Amino acid sequence: MFSRNKSVNSPKDLQFWESYDDYTLDNPHAGDPRCLQANNFNYCKLRYTLYCRCCRELGEDDPRCKYQYYRTELSCTQDFLDLVNKHREEGTCSMDILPSRQLHNMRH
């Protein structure tokens, strides 16, 4: 049996873990923990965009949107979620714009 690390206060404390046992014990649905060093930003951004679209179409209280946010929490860092949620409340989040309102697909 392994001992759980109870003195984790920030992500900096996690960089010297000897194994991923604590990680998988606390978060069993996060997938393969060997890929933590990979750049998952595109996947994170996709998940958050799907969550925003779901909220616009069905409302934040819909179970499908809550599931999308759960999947977003698994793929994104908490710092990123705090930042984009703050921008979303202010109305300046680029991922909360419907595809018909985006301008990057328009060509002259």
Query: How is 25-80 classified by DSSP, letter by letter?
Result: HH-TTS--GGGTTS--HHHHHHHHHHHHHHHHHH-TTSHHHHHHHHHHHHHS-HHH
pLDDT (0 to 100) of residue 1: 41
Q: Which residues contact 69 (CB under 8 A, 6 or more apart)?
A: 51
Q: How confident is the model at residue 77 (pLDDT cuts 50, 70, 90)?
A: confident
Confidence (pTM) = 0.62
> Between 66 and 32, where is the model more confident?
66
pLDDT (0 to 100) of residue 58: 92
> Between 11 and 70, where is the model more confident?
70
> Between 32 and 99, where is the model more confident?
99
pLDDT (0 to 100) of residue 11: 60
Any idea which of 4-8, 28-32, 43-47, 78-82 has the lowest mean pLDDT?
A: 4-8
- Compute the distance between CA of residue 79 and CA of residue 63 in angstroms, rounded to an integer: 24
- Express each pLDDT in 11-41 by its tens digit: 666 566 566 566 666 665 665 555 555 677 8
- Compute the distance between CA of residue 51 and CA of residue 59 in angstroms, rounded to an integer: 10
